[in-house]
Amino acid sequence: MSSYFTDLAQQYIDGEWRPGTGSWDVIDFNPYDDEKLAAITVATVEEVDLAYRAAARVQKEWARTNPYARRAVFERALRLIEDREREIADLITAELGGTHGKAAFELHLAKEFLRESIHIALRPEGRILPSPTDGKENRVYRVPVGVVGVISPFNFPFLLSLKSVAPALALGNGVVLKPHQNTPIAGGTLIAKIFEDAGLPGGLLNVLVTDIAEIGDAFIEHPVPKVISFTGSDKVGRHVATVCARHFKRAVLELGGNAALVVLDDADVDYAVDAAVFSRFVHQGQVCMAANRVLVDRSVADEFTEKFVAKVRSLKAGDPRDPQTVIGPVINSAQAAAVSGTVEQALAEGATALVHGTTTNNLVEPSVLTGIPAGSPLLRQEVFGPVVFLIPFDGEEEAVRLVNDTPYGLSGSVHTGDIERGVAFAKRIDTGMFHVNDGTVHDEPIVPFGGEKDSGLGRLNGETTLEAQPPAGGTPTPRCRTTRVRPVRG
């Protein structure tokens, strides 16, 4: 695993591994013990241009390649990930503080999404449409957009980079990927190495490790890419969307969330407790779909609270290399300070800490807070860390109002003994995805993924991925809501 941090600490441009030519380095640290893992000299505006020009040049031949031949590259990439799974899991633990469970979860999903890309290579279909003129017909062809720019986040870097990169390549496009500065290897150059070893033509996929302090908006503004896929905060996403609109580019934005997990009066309380703990604390709560808020019907609130608090207290926080650790470090000191500040602000506003975790360096222990004032802005914002707000409610009407009282709309879930009651509840929530009798953190390769309101634009996964690659003449992206239903346990 350590060889990854030496061999892959470079830029990958036009099929070559090379140092950046910027005047400073991105330093890659282990967030748990602050060990320096790698130093990568940043890419410059000139190297952004080189990467995009290379992708545009090679993409034309790649688009003409038989899709069955393209598919073979992804089959080999999948085998390489399976062969190197242990090393990749160790890298995830070291670079982003992922626990053993988190690394396994991310790798499982990454393989599933890569399998879907194997199929998506053969998915584009044309159409023949009638004409009002006799003897004529209209033919609609779905063609690659050309080059896609991908900007990926730090929390699930391997998965979320692959989730945009692999389908774009499978559909005949070129890609330039800019991973987050905190995870340049797992989210960037590791993916380049896997596809290089799998036989992807050099220059088709390029990886740039850099920062806006060096390149400004050059990555988005460059004339080559027609689509920008961004996953990250709504603040940055708003800027990306503005720049894309100014240059007539299509933006696919997967942004933040403020999910609520709702426990109705007829829910299986024990099962709801397990779902809530996972939904809030997986990867230290650094997940856009995480349940910031747990809403519980007052009739079962005492039972749920007692069991939920006991479960949270049992979560072991510490070294992510320990297989027993459930809560590892957050990504950096700024994030640790922000999460700790959220807890202190809530307490200053009058909240009660049922569990009050301490913060040591980047290790933030879980906190469970209740009694947050109804008008607190904390209830409407995203909290990217192991803090949860426990909120009682009286009846479904109040629950619906509370769930919708946020500028975000990415995910959520409801627990009930009646599936149809849960589906009816889900339909009243203004969100891109909602789960019945499940957690809030869930993603499947063929099911539309995306948010409403400040949680993003567009959808990824399965057939909806094709909508980011319009047919000649264009097509609107449909508004989709995903409702996943898990049968009632019994």
CA of 181: how far to CAs of 136, 153, 189, 233, 436, in Å? Answer: 54, 9, 12, 14, 36
Sequence-ordered list of residues with C-beta below 8 angstroms from that of 443, at least 6 positions apart, any chain: 109, 289, 449, 461
Helices (H) and strands (E) in the chain — how many of each?
16, 24
The residue annotated as part of the active site, out of 47, 196, 254, 452, is: 254
288 is catalytic: yes
Q: Is 365 helix (H, G, I), strand (E, B) or coil?
A: coil
Smallest CA-to-CA distance from 279 within 89, 433, 459 is with 433
Cα dihedral across residues 456, 461, 464, 469: positive or negative: positive
Round to whole Å and give the CA distance between 216 and 450: 27
Position of tokens 């109002």? 401
Determine contact, residues 77/114, Cβ cutoff 8 Å: yes
35 is catalytic: no
Round to whole Å and give the CA distance between 484 and 413: 9
The residue annotated as part of the active site, out of 95, 116, 244, 288, is: 288
Q: Can you read off the two tokens belonging to residue 249?
A: 């580019």
Smallest CA-to-CA distance from 190 within 53, 37, 61, 301 is with 37
Determine contact, residues 277/312, Cβ cutoff 8 Å: yes
Q: Which residues are catalytic?
A: 254, 288
